[in-house]
Structure formats: structure tokens, C-alpha cells
Amino acid sequence: MTTRTRRTKAFSAPPFTWAEVEARSVAMGELEWLRAMRQQAWATYESLPMPTTNDEPWRRTDYRHIRWESAGQLTDGSGASVEAIPAENRAPLIGDVQGGLIAWVDGTLVHYEVDPSLTAQGVVFQDLRQAALEHPELVQKHLFTHAVLPDEGKFAALNAAAWTYGLFVYVPKNVHVELPLHSIFYNTQLGASVGHVLIVLDRGASATVLQEFLSPDGDDHASYIGATELLVGQAANLKYVGLQNWGHHTFEFSHQRGRVERDGQLDWVVGTMGGKLTKAFLEIYLDGPGAWSRMSGMYFADGTQMIDHDTLQVHNAPNTTSDLLFKGALTQEARSVWQGMIRVVKDAQNSDGFQANRNLMVRPTARADSIPGLEIEADDVRCTHAATVGQLDEEPVFYLESRGIPRQEAERLIVNGYFWDVLERIPFQDVQNRLLADVDYKFLVGWQPD
């Protein structure tokens, strides 16, 4: 008797090499401390296994279909100018004027401007590589030391070892940046884009930062391996907006974490509209008494998109507050996963934590998994969570159709209304409008099969 065993495709790693990473570091003239940090992170990367569906955070997200031969080669820059970025993305989004605009195309810095008055106050808003040369004491103190750590996972270690471009923002003590700072990562090439965002607000400082992650659709797989570190000092206030609209060929693997000290505030907006597959770890640590955070997430998946958000709210100190709401809509064959956890340590008494995830299936062929969780060690807290997954109600659709509105337009109106309670948490009207425009675009254009 002959038996056959089906060969299962492995969870393979991208074909990066240390020689390639080191050569880029040397060519850029990086300082010795940064090259040593990369080498240590590479050793960590090699020691860690690739995540698989046997690992709980990845159990519902299978990325074995990624074609690393297309998505795993480090991008070298295409020679494109800032004009490659659509004009509507380069224009101010939060208000009519911005304090600075910085943009990369395929990992190459193509545009940089900043209000001179900010520089005069000691504000640093520049390319992370350049900042490591010009402000080594600031970058070395904060890069991969307090927020995202290389040993947290294979992709975190890879970013620490191989990042090729990134944003650095530093706002000194008691400096208030009134105009928003705008950063764009735009990719036109296939291959692997490895970017980093590091934002540091010193004691009593305040700023608003808009970060966009964008690419047009491509004809084969691409990847973005990213990390975002948001460090909010004592009594500082950061408003951070991260809008992702990759092309439908891009796989994103990212670790994003904010840390908030005593009486600090972090208001974080997450918009996820693009990508073929997105696996994003989004975490906030409240490290000092009186620290406050809010995270408002919105996503709309169509076609065969897969969006997986893994959120964590950690209360490390008493009298801290975290408030999280993620809302998603899915259509066609799209799928989403949200896994959320509120963790309160023993000494974090009088903490207040809330998390909710709500999902609307525009088509019954879509699927959403929503898994909230609580880990409470303190005995004087208020922590609640909620999760819902529901189908589109046909009654309002019928009502609108009976008044001459086509079904697709009726569905669009209902979905827009469904998102309203998360949109009204976003403190910027123009960001609300951009997210709604992204939703409208998907209804207008429709899904193009792979």
C-alpha cells in the first residue's frame, strides 16, 4: 500500500543577508554605535524563528503565500522624485498650513522642508539616518531602547537590523509645535521596504504628527517591514495619525508602540485601508500616574484583503486611562482579525481601561474574528471590553432602494454612517474626510481580482 503525504509550505524568511545590511550601513557612513546596534539586532533576528500559525498572535493569519522572491529584496531607490507622490497626499491634511513636510519614495529622501522657527526652538524633524549623524545622543538614547525592542519578534529584530530610512521627531522640553508635521513613506517598487518612525516628546512638549504609508497597486508582491516608536514624556501631549493605504500587492509586518509618562497624553489615530495582508502590533504602555491614551482605529477591507490588528493597553501605574475603539467593515472575500488585551499590573490601582471592536460584514462571504481580553492584577480598577460581528441589515438597504437609490450607493451611505462614532473621536475634520473618501473610493472602483 502506498500513502502520499501533502507537503506543507513552510513559513519562510525573506532572503536578507548580514553582508547586504552591513554594506549599506558602511556606504551611508553610519557611526560605530549604530552599526553595532544593527549587528546585535541581526544576531537576535537569526536566533528567532519565523512566526507560524502555531503561535497564538499569528494563529489566524497565514502569510505563507507571500512570494519573497519578489517581496524580499531590499529596495534600492527608483530615482523617482517627490512628484511621484499624488498631489493630494503632499498637500496639508490637518489644517491649511503645516510645520514641515518630509517624504521618501522607495526609501530615498525626496523632499524636506520645516518651519525655521521650529528649528530655532530645538525641534528636530528629519530623516532618521541624518539625525543619527547630527544628533547621535538623542537617537542612540531612544532608538530601540524604550518602545519597540528587537527581541520581541522576528520582524521587530529585522527592522532593527535592516531599516534603511525613517522619520525622527524630537520636541524639547516645554516646546509646543502648533502646526502639524507631515511625513510620507511612498513606495513604487516591488521588494522589501524597511522603514522606521521614532517620535520623542520631552517633558511638557506637544506636537501633532501625520504619518502616511502609501503605494500604488503593483503586479507582484511587495512588503513593508516597519516599526513605530512614540515616546511621550511627563505632561507632554502627542497627537499621532497613522494612515496606511498600501497597494493591494503589499504585505505589512509592523510593530508599533507608544509609551506615556506621568500626566502625558497620547491620542493615536489608526487608519488601515490598503495592503494585501497587514499584521500590525499596536501597543500603548501607560508608565506614569495620570497618563492618558486614546486609540481610534478604522479599517475597510475588500477583495481578498487580510487585516490583522493586535492591540495591547498596559497600565503600569495608578490613575491611568486607556480608551480604544476599532471599527471595521468588510466586503467581498475580505477577512479581518482583531485581538485586544488590557493589562493592569498589581500596583496600577484606580486605572480605567476600555476597549471595543465592532465589525460590519457588507457581504456574507467576508469574515471577521474579534477577540478581546483582560489581564487584571489590581483590585481597584474599572476595565471593560466589547466585541461584535454583524451582517449588513437589509431593511435600511431596502428603504433606500425603494426611494430610487441604487444598492451600491445605499450600502456606501450605510457604511459611512456606521463609521461615524469612531470618526467623531478623531480630532481633525480633514482626517475624517480622507478616511471617508478612501471608503467611497472602494465602493466606486470596486474590487479587481488578483
Note the pLDDT of residue 10. Answer: 81
pLDDT band of 8, cuts 50, 70, 90:
low
State phi, psi for 102 to the nearest 5 degrees: -135, 140
Residue 446 has pLDDT above 80, yes or no: no
Residue 3 has pLDDT above 80, yes or no: no
Residue 107 has pLDDT above 80, yes or no: yes
pLDDT tens digit sequence for 394-430: 999 999 999 999 999 999 999 999 999 999 999 999 9
For the chain, give the mean pLDDT: 95
Note the pLDDT of residue 444. Answer: 85
Residue 326 has pLDDT above 90, yes or no: yes
Nearest one of 313, 269, 312 to 425, comparing CA atoms: 269
Nearest one of 294, 309, 308, 298 to 353, comparing CA atoms: 294
Contact 241, 267 (CB under 8 A): no
CA distances 80 to 111, 126, 192, Å, are 11, 20, 17
Q: How far is 380 from 350, CA to CA, in rounded Å?
A: 5
What average pLDDT score do residues 163-185 get? 98
Q: Indicate if the alpha-carbon torsion angle 265, 198, 314, 335 is positive or negative.
A: positive
pLDDT tens digit sequence for 259-307: 999 999 999 999 999 999 999 999 999 999 999 999 999 999 999 999 9
**Residue count (the chain):** 450
- The proportion of the chain whose per-residue pLDDT surpasses 90, expressed as a percent, equals 94
What average pLDDT score do residues 230-254 get? 98
Question: Residues 233, 372, 282, 39: what is their CA dihedral angle, to the nearest 10 degrees?
Answer: 110
Contact 77, 107 (CB under 8 A): yes
- Decide: helix, strand or coil at residue 37: helix
Contact 297, 419 (CB under 8 A): no
Cell of 320: 491611568
In 175-276 the beta strands, taken as DSSP E runs, fall at 181-186, 191-193, 195-201, 206-214, 222-232, 237-245, 250-260, 265-272
pLDDT band of 77, cuts 50, 70, 90:
confident
Contact 339, 311 (CB under 8 A): yes
Q: How far is 238 from 268, CA to CA, in rounded Å?
A: 8
Residue 4 has pLDDT above 70, yes or no: no
pLDDT band of 7, cuts 50, 70, 90:
low
pLDDT tens digit sequence for 350-365: 999 999 999 999 999 9
Residue 6 has pLDDT above 70, yes or no: no
What pTM, to 2 d.p., does this model score? 0.96
Domain residue ranges of the chain, discontinuous segments joined by +: 18-445
- Decide: helix, strand or coil at residue 32: helix
